């Protein structure tokens, strides 16, 4: 296998296995920062050795075994921690013997899942909400610092500082790598839900690169969301989040054309939607209703997604109801992005002029100055009004702001078409 092919294989394996690798190491070494360091050392070893030896049959097990041995070597080199080296070495040896089985095992008990242990650890109350989300996305979602920064519309340096400080805080406090007792779960839930949502969002609409969809992140968000839904069956927002993810993930096949180019929602062939996932999402939303609790942002977004799923063709979409749901969402969870989406829904329900009035809001313009979907939405409404020159300029601006190369190319084609 050529070196370039091996490097691509290593990158693919890392995307798939890194979260499980770090989670398993974190439980053993009891330090999330050290666990990530050991995982990165294993990645470097793969890049050095696999071009000559080939990609192993079970690359995840190879990475875990390599990280385990690096951990043993590291502690043995530390002459001031001989006893700890011996104890930890024995634990790592035992852990290494079960690596392949662990990686292939189906999760029967969420409380025994390394990933779930780690996600609650990185969402520990000792950390700020922002630090919990950034650290969990880094360690479990496999997102880079720039990707997290784009998801939050903040600077990369801010994200990097949050991650470093979070690791230091957890290490200094010797926070255990474990799922909290059930009595503590509700107060830790909001940050975990936000993490899962952002993992899904990065998979559903990648912020950079050429992929229109990152399926591995979609699947990871679905898996973690389903586990939480089993853990907290009486919590409406848990069911709301999994309903939202199921409903939006159902569109995955239709969101990309045969050439790999993105297809907008209103132009998708809905026969290509995964109607099994649609059914799962609708049932999850029904479970959220059945709890009798108040709806939060995830359940409201799921209700919006359900409106789209009930329309077998785009022309049947109930935009008036969607606009009303966005009104409620803006009250429950106000943000410039939600206001942007609300404006688009208003435009579809009541005409592009009404949308442009909202999209011209100065506060929104300042908050979303670097957000590509704002000029894209303006371009859409201007095109519908026949203001082609202005629409073309907005689509070109949106393309400039888009880090995802496929999306940028799509927007440039929209500009040319106008």
Contact 142, 14 (CB under 8 A): yes
Dist. CA 409–CA 405, nearest whole Å: 6
pTM exceeds 0.85: no
Dist. CA 272–CA 350, nearest whole Å: 29
Dist. CA 178–CA 185, nearest whole Å: 12
pLDDT at 79: 53
* Angle made by CA atoms 278, 282, 283, in degrees to the nearest 5: 115
Question: Is 220 exposed, middle or buried (CB count within 10 Å of its CB: 0-12, 13-18, 19+)?
Answer: buried
Dist. CA 265–CA 60, nearest whole Å: 36
pLDDT at 85: 53
pLDDT tens sequence across 155-210: 999 999 999 999 999 999 988 888 777 777 777 888 889 888 988 988 898 877 77
Dist. CA 418–CA 408, nearest whole Å: 16
DSSP conformational letter for 87: H
pLDDT at 106: 32
Contact 55, 175 (CB under 8 A): no
| Structural tokens at position 348 | 């579809």
pLDDT at 102: 42
Backbone angles phi, psi at 351, to 5 degrees: 110, 150
Dist. CA 221–CA 336, nearest whole Å: 24
How far, CA to CA in Å, does 286 sit from each of 216, 237, 272, 303, 306?
A: 27, 12, 24, 10, 11
| Structural tokens at position 58 | 């079970």
pLDDT at 275: 96
pLDDT at 18: 85
pLDDT at 326: 97
**Cα Rg, the chain, nearest whole Å:** 23
Dist. CA 39–CA 60, nearest whole Å: 11
pLDDT at 52: 83
Q: Is 256 strand, coil or helix?
A: strand
CA distance between the termini of the chain: 46
Residues of the chain short of pLDDT 70, as ranges, are 1-3, 78-113, 151, 153
pLDDT at 80: 53
pLDDT at 14: 81
The domain limits of the chain are 1-105
Contact 396, 412 (CB under 8 A): yes
């Amino acid at each position: 296998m050529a070196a370039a092919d091996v490097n691509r294989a290593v990158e693919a394996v890392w995307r798939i296995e890194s979260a499980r690798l770090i989670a398993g190491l974190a439980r053993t070494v009891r330090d999330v920062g050290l666990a990530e360091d050991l995982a990165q050392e294993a990645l470097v070893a793969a890049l050095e050795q696999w071009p000559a030896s080939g990609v192993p049959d079970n690359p995840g097990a190879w990475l875990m075994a390599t990280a385990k041995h690096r951990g043993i070597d590291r502690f043995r080199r530390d002459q001031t921690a001989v006893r700890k080296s011996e104890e930890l070495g024995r634990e790592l040896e035992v852990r290494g013997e079960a690596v392949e089985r662990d990686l292939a095992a189906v999760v029967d008990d969420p409380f025994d899942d390394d990933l779930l242990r780690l996600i609650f650890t990185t969402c520990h109350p000792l950390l700020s909400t922002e630090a919990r989300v950034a650290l969990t996305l880094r360690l479990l979602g496999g997102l880079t610092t720039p990707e997290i920064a784009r998801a939050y519309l903040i600077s990369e340096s801010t994200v990097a500082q949050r991650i470093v400080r979070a690791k230091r805080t957890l290490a200094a406090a010797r926070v255990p790598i474990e799922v909290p007792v059930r009595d503590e779960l509700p107060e830790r839930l909001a940050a975990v839900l936000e993490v899962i949502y952002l993992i899904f969002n990065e998979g559903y609409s990648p912020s950079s690169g050429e992929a229109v969809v990152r399926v591995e992140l979609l699947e990871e968000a679905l898996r973690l969301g389903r586990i939480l839904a089993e853990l907290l069956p009486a919590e409406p927002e848990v069911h709301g989040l999994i309903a939202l993810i199921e409903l939006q993930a159902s569109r995955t096949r239709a969101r990309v054309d045969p050439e790999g180019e993105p297809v907008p929602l209103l132009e998708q062939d809905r026969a290509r939607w995964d109607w099994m996932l649609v059914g799962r999402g609708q049932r999850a939303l029904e479970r959220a209703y059945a709890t009798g609790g108040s709806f939060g942002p995830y359940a409201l977004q799921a209700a919006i997604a359900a409106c789209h799923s009930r329309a077998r063709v785009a022309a049947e979409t109930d935009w008036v109801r969607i606009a009303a749901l966005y009104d409620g969402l803006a009250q429950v969870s106000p943000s410039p992005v939600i206001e942007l989406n609300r404006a688009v829904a208003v435009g579809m329900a009541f005409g592009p002029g009404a949308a442009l009035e909202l999209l011209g809001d100065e506060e929104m313009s300042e908050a979303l100055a670097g957000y590509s979907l704002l000029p894209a939405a303006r371009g859409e409404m201007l095109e519908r009004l026949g203001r082609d020159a202005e629409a073309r300029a907005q689509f070109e601006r949106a393309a400039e702001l888009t880090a995802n190369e496929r999306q940028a190319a799509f927007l440039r084609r929209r500009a040319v078409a106008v």
